[in-house]
Amino acid sequence: MNTRPHTFWPALTVTAAALALSACAPTVNIGTPEPVKIDVQMRADIYTHDGKQPPAVAAADDPNATPAQRRYNRRAEIQDLKNNRVVGEGNDGLLSIRELPADAQYAAYAQLTVSAENADRAAEFKAKAEELQKPLHVYIKDFATKAYQASYPGEWVQTAGGEWVKR
């Protein structure tokens, strides 16, 4: 005679439930019907200052762009010239070449870039002064002050008195 018949059935019930649940585990497909596509656009500007050939023309030569767009496209080139102490911010709001590079090709590139930047700045000064209804000389003075304040240590800047200093 079995003295404990009821201990067998709960264990069997739990085992049967576990087997039933494990048999019903859903299959999860983590694959995709098509390969994943990634669309990347990249622009790389390469500059050298060790005697090798510089870029032939400024990156901002698009004649259909506005002066502000061309200045935006050229900002890295201008900062690079400032970092190399080739150009400085004048108190007239324009860039000036302070130390002409010895390499003739790089010097020509610097002159071309500064000339294009100054032309675009002059056009933008006129448009912004009209837009803000300020006299042109006041807008230029405000721009030059902001450029002076935004310059980094070691960059050439022209003081209000006309003296060129490295900030």
> pLDDT (tens digit, 9 = 90+) per residue, 5-30?
566 667 677 777 776 666 666 677 77
Token pair belonging to 19: 């087997």
- Whole-prediction pTM value? 0.63
φ, ψ for residue 99, nearest 5 deg: -130, 100
Coil, strand, or helix at residue 52?
Answer: coil
CA 62/CA 79 separation, integer angstroms: 20
d(CA 94, CA 53): 26
Give phi and psi for 58, each to the nearest 5. -65, 150
pLDDT higher than threshold 70 for residue 49: no
Calculate what percentage of the chain has a pLDDT beyond 70.
77
Residues 87, 97 contacting (CB under 8 angstroms):
yes
Kindly state the average pLDDT of the residues 98-105: 91
Measured distance between the N- and C-terminal CA atoms of the chain, rounded to whole angstroms: 104
User: d(Cα 66, Cα 56) in Å, to the nearest integer?
Assistant: 21
